[in-house]
Structure 1
Amino acid sequence: MMRAVMVLAALVLAGMFAPQARAGEVCNETSYYVDAAKAWGGENGLSAQGWQRIAPGSCVRFSGIPAGVPQFLYARTSEAYLGGAREWLGRTPVCVDRENFQIEGAQDCEAMGLEQREFRQLAPSERARAVLVEPDDFGSRALEAGVQRLLQTLGYEVRVVDGFAGRRSRAQIAAFERDIGASFGGNYERLAERLHETALERNGEVGLNVCNQTSGPTGIAIARQRNERWQSRGWWRIEPGSCMRVVADRLQPGELFVYAQTADGERSEPLRRGVEAFCVAPGRFTAEGRSNCAERGYTQVLFRASPVPVDGVARLTLENADFEDLVQ
């Protein structure tokens, strides 16, 4: 509550003294539904607002941004898609919240209970209209590509996402309409909305969901087999009292291992009752293989088996008793 009051007061003052603001448009020419946020420079540092959900082939406007100031953009795919979030990012760290937010001049993300994301600075020509794209430049075909992507995500037989609604795509659309008992009559906007709603309901919690009930922030790493080779990855930082979906794939029993360590202060405490050795590094890392960790510049630690998934969903709650020196 105190943070909300402070942010609201800052916004009121900013509105009284800021230069005339103008809207900035962000358009989505990708095949994904994305959640976007914008940031801008000011006397008190970077301010930010988000999240705005943008459908494939659509645009939204960000208002209240002073004219002539540097602007930054970050976007991520919605939770409807499997395989983890895809990001459109840069190198400028900005404080954001998990839910809809508007933050004035936040600099210490951790102290305010916020997360940090890396934003891309927009060129002056992009301030009025910035466009999100993929390597496959869908352009005006983004909506059709988005429908194909969602059908594929829901398990329908779409082999190629190309934005061309051919006979196979039309057949899979008809199959989806039969499955839900509704027809969209060629209205791709309404069809995409319903596909996205369905995918969110089905996939929104699929994977590994970790909740941190310890007294401080925690870093999470995972290990699983990829193409018959073990791979370990980290870190995901989870604040106390918060939850995060770390893996966004439908899980099978025995395929995933988890490691955690406290991330508060100079000394970190490791997760207890680990059983399988994998490689980790101090910063963000991806380690291929699980042997010869030290020779390859990694540290070997013991991971714990993930909780057994139910319908592809595994849930792990970390408490103080899970860490060596936090046992009470």
Structure 2
Amino acid sequence: MRKQVTLALTLAFALSGFPATASAQTSETDTNSVEIINPANTASWNICNETSFILRLAHATLRDGQIKAKGWREAQPGQCIVETIVENAPRFLYAESSPIHRGGIREWKGEATLCAKDTDFESAATDNCRVQNLETRPYFAVKPGEDTTTLIEPADFGENALTAGTQRLLRDAGYKITAIDGMPGRRTARSLREFQKKEALDDLPEGEALISALAISAAAKTKEIGLEFCNKSDSRIYTAIGLQEDGNWTSRGWWELAPESCVRPVTEDLKGLDVHYYALKESLPGPANDVTAILTGTGDAAINERADLKLRSIATIPAQFCIAEAQFSALGREMCLESGYGVANFRPLPTDKESLTISLTNEDFAQSGPAGLRQ
């Protein structure tokens, strides 16, 4: 049995797996309830990538008598990978595009929340993700008898996925590709010749070797464009962005930054995007034995009650966008309160630069905002 799982049009503008909407199986599934299955019977499960993206795959299935999630494996456009699993055991899959692609992370997801993290991991479904210092991802359920799961885009490139992936990576690397359609043409061929000359290659690689070579070039180019936040303060910072997409204002957050770390939430040319940004900074606890600090709610005993510090507003007429307590993606910048969101004053970015790095320091933050505006 073969099933196709399609990417929806909503994207995640983040390297950290920010949520996006993708159509998949969305029925709620109890990941802790496992039917009695003979673990000696195994089967091969093919996971095929018929998209134009390099995908990172994580899956969960029966291991050692319990459901365990594991990641990551990479699947190039047009490539199938094989997992050996217990026959007829419950299965869950999550896929996201590689961060080397412009435009943010795309997700193929569902509604089964299981542990994950950006680097390789393995975790039982019964684990407390936070205690294990893990994040979560929204996996989708796969029918136990399914032997092939195919990940696609709305364009459904099918056997042309390799060509579509080549076109996307050429565009990500800065070459002039106007259409990602999976159809080889003169512009694609010309761009490949330019790539071969620029990289001083005697022969142009083919297939997986070509995708790997283009991925290196695309990754280098992605680091040269977009918006990067760096935390130069003394505590954690949570950032959000607001920008126009298809003529509509959208705000998204939060991207968490530990001190001396950086994150790149926008991975495309900033020219003409009209991007705004906002940030909150965690308040540091007061002295542990300072009775006055504790009684006034500023010490260690009240750290959970302390409000985050807000980004200072520097514009005469600030740009207001919607925000929420947890991770959010809000469409529009009006009627925020009526829609259940909070409101914050975002800072504008220049519109004539293709890339910017914003270093946030203690001096960028002012008075406390409403408690609980970021979880």
What interval of TM-score do these two structures reach, taking the shorter chain for normalisation? 0.7 to 0.9
Judging by fraction of residues, say which structure has more helix.
1
- 1:39 is paired with a residue whose SS is strand
The residue identity in structure 2 corresponding to 1:56 is P
Of 22-31 and 71-80, deviating more is 22-31
- 2:310 is paired with a residue whose SS is coil
Matched residues in 1 for 2:69 and 2:363: separation? Answer: 34
Matched residues in 2 for 1:323 and 1:74: separation? Answer: 40
* Maintained 8 Å contact 2:87/2:144: no
* Maintained 8 Å contact 2:337/2:343: yes
Matched residues in 2 for 1:71 and 1:241: separation? Answer: 39
| Residue 88 of structure 2, aligned match among 57, 60, 68 | 68
Unaligned runs of 5+ in 2: 1-37, 283-302, 370-375
Aligned equivalent of 1:47: 68
Instruction: Report the CA distance shift for 1:201/1:122 in structure 2 as closer, same or farther (over 3 A).
Output: same
Instruction: Report the CA distance shift for 1:50/1:184 in structure 2 as closer, same or farther (over 3 A).
Output: farther
Matched residues in 2 for 1:217 and 1:106: separation? Answer: 28
Equivalent runs, 1:180-191 vs 2, <5 Å: 180-185=199-204, 187-191=206-210
2:228 is equivalent to residue 209 of structure 1? yes
Aligned equivalent of 1:33: 54
Instruction: Report the CA distance shift for 1:243/1:202 in structure 2 as closer, same or farther (over 3 A).
Output: same
| Residue 250 of structure 2, aligned match among 213, 218, 231 | 231
How many residues get paired? 307
- TM-score of the two chains, using structure 1 as the length reference: 0.77
Matched residues in 2 for 1:85 and 1:217: separation? Answer: 23
Matched residues in 2 for 1:214 and 1:40: separation? Answer: 41
How far is the alpha carbon of 1:109 from its aligned partner? 1.8
| Residue 172 of structure 2, aligned match among 135, 141, 153 | 153
Matched residues in 2 for 1:226 and 1:208: separation? Answer: 16
- TM-score of the two chains, using structure 2 as the length reference: 0.69
Instruction: Report the CA distance shift for 1:131/1:108 in structure 2 as closer, same or farther (over 3 A).
Output: same
* Maintained 8 Å contact 1:261/1:323: no
Write out per-residue CA displacement over residues 56-93 of structure 1, whole angstroms, 9 at most, x where no aligned residue: 11122334x44432111111111221111111111111
Of 116-125 and 205-214, deviating more is 205-214
Write out per-residue CA displacement over residues 12-34 of structure 1, whole angstroms, 9 at most, x where no aligned residue: xxxxxx93455533211111111
- The Cα RMSD (Å) is 3.6
* Maintained 8 Å contact 1:254/1:308: yes
| Residue 80 of structure 1, aligned match among 75, 100, 104 | 100
Aligned equivalent of 2:39: 19
* Maintained 8 Å contact 2:308/2:368: yes
Write out per-residue CA displacement over residues 178-229 of structure 1, whole angstroms, 9 at most, x where no aligned residue: 2222144572332222111110122146433345677876543212344666
Of 309-318 and 43-52, deviating more is 309-318
Equivalent runs, 1:199-278 vs 2, <5 Å: 199-204=218-223, 206-210=225-229, 219-226=238-245, 230-237=249-256, 243-252=262-271, 255-261=274-280, 265=304, 268-275=307-314, 276=318, 277-278=320-321
Aligned equivalent of 1:196: 215
Of 249-258 and 170-179, deviating more is 249-258
- 1:125 is paired with a residue whose SS is coil
Kindly, what percent of the aligned residue pairs are identical?
A: 33
* Maintained 8 Å contact 1:109/1:116: yes
* Maintained 8 Å contact 1:94/1:118: yes
Instruction: Report the CA distance shift for 1:309/1:220 in structure 2 as closer, same or farther (over 3 A).
Output: farther
| Residue 58 of structure 1, aligned match among 61, 79, 89 | 79
2:356 is equivalent to residue 303 of structure 1? no
How far is the alpha carbon of 1:267 from its aligned partner? 6.2
| Residue 138 of structure 2, aligned match among 114, 118, 122 | 118
Write out per-residue CA displacement over residues 90-135 of structure 1, whole angstroms, 9 at most, x where no aligned residue: 1111111211122234532222221111001111233x43221111
Matched residues in 1 for 2:352 and 2:135: separation? Answer: 27
* Maintained 8 Å contact 1:45/1:107: no
Matched residues in 2 for 1:318 and 1:69: separation? Answer: 50
Unaligned runs of 5+ in 1: 1-17
